[in-house]
Amino acid sequence: MTTQYSIDAPLKIGTRGSPLALAQAHETRARLMAAHNLPEAAFTIEVIQTTGDAVQDRPLSEIGGKGLFTKEIEQALLDRRIDIAVHSMKDVATVLPDGLVIDCTLPREDVRDAFISPKYKAIEDLPKGAVIGTSSLRRRAQLLSMRPDLKLVEFRGNVQTRLKKLDDGVAVATFLACAGLQRLGNFDIANPVSTYVMLPACAQGAIGIERRKDDEAAALLLMAIHHAATFTRISCERAFLKELDGSCRTPIGGLAELDGNNLRFLGEIIRPDGSEVYSDIWRGQAKDAVEIGAAAGRDLRARGGEGFFA
């Protein structure tokens, strides 16, 4: 394929610097190389530090909502310092900055949460009052709704940091995304949790690639690696999230599943203390994915009432 990108003018891929973010950027580069028969030298990977990475001593909910892991990368895109940006879609705000678009998603990985513990195999094995580490308000609320006896402590950091905290005895168990562990080659430590026990975060396990709307060369390159089924599913989930004003400060779970042209969406909202949960299943045609997600969001918002997430 002829594009403006070559060894002499490589495509600059923007990413966070964590091992998982770099693995996702490398996967994107490998797919582009294979799709277009391009050498590795036709790409450069640019590491950009984000607010979410820089501030490690406070919960995400205190320093802002979605966008903590994307804002600086998006600014680099707008400033033309990079050409595309690789994101974990669960970190991406539901409204993108003017001039940017995400119309390319890679095939989705395992959507489940993984229970990680050196001592126990599952949530039900945890003794009363056990200390669990998690920085996710969703996981915290889900756990409290199941096991109000558990003691939950803040657990920020990348996968390696959190595993070290477990080793150091800060907590007896934590949760990570199965997708991240698979991409890092650490899946052997995972005890996957059924989505019927813990509904995942909207867009969990999906990688999205952002570009400038006016960059037709990048659009052509990315079209060849786009996975349409993943895009349909996360479009439904993100529409649900948008309707609920979902951010890192709101406990929300959502999962869209496809069966041919049929879509099934599971959504839930949980009070932060786990005391109240509203969930349901919505069905429709895959072509109506956004409408299904938005309708589900409106439905649960009405059921929860004003101040549900307070």
Domain boundaries of the chain, sorted by first residue: 11-107+205-226, 113-193, 238-303
Give the separation between CA 71 and CA 298, rounded to whole angstroms. Answer: 27
- Is 98 considered catalytic here? no
Same fold, 11-107+205-226 and 113-193: yes
The stretch 54-71 carries a mean pLDDT of 63
pLDDT of 40 reads 95
pLDDT of 61 reads 58
pLDDT of 125 reads 96
Least confident of 21-25, 137-141, 244-248, 258-262: 244-248
pLDDT of 1 reads 38
Band of pLDDT at residue 5, cut at 50, 70 and 90: low
27-56 core/surface letters (b: 16 or more CB in 10 A; e: else): bbbebbeeebebeeebbebbebebebbeee
pLDDT of 309 reads 83
Give the separation between CA 188 and CA 176, rounded to whole angstroms. Answer: 13
Q: Which CATH superfamily is domain 238-303 in?
A: Porphobilinogen deaminase, C-terminal domain (3.30.160.40)
Q: Is 69 helix (H, G, I), strand (E, B) or coil?
A: coil
Predicted confidence (pLDDT) at residue 274 exceeds the cutoff of 70: yes
Give the separation between CA 37 and CA 221, rounded to whole angstroms. Answer: 11
pTM: 0.91
Q: Is 222 exposed, middle or buried (0-12, 13-18, 19+ CB in 10 A)?
A: buried
The stretch 102-127 carries a mean pLDDT of 96
Q: 208 and 105 in contact (C-beta within 8 Å)?
A: yes
162 backbone dihedrals φ, ψ, rounded to 5°: -70, -35
Band of pLDDT at residue 53, cut at 50, 70 and 90: low
Give the separation between CA 143 and CA 74, rounded to whole angstroms. Answer: 33
- Other beta carbons within 10 angstroms of residue 228's beta carbon come to 9
The stretch 29-55 carries a mean pLDDT of 89
Give the separation between CA 224 and CA 61, rounded to whole angstroms. Answer: 37
For domain 11-107+205-226, the question of CATH label 3.40.190.10 is answered with yes
Predicted confidence (pLDDT) at residue 163 exceeds the cutoff of 90: no
Predicted confidence (pLDDT) at residue 13 exceeds the cutoff of 60: yes
pLDDT in tens, 211-268: 999 999 999 999 999 999 999 999 999 999 999 976 557 899 999 999 999 999 999 9
The catalytic position among 91, 110, 113, 215 is 91
Third-level CATH fold of 113-193:
D-Maltodextrin-Binding Protein; domain 2 (3.40.190)
Q: 263 and 207 in contact (C-beta within 8 Å)?
A: no
Predicted confidence (pLDDT) at residue 165 exceeds the cutoff of 60: yes
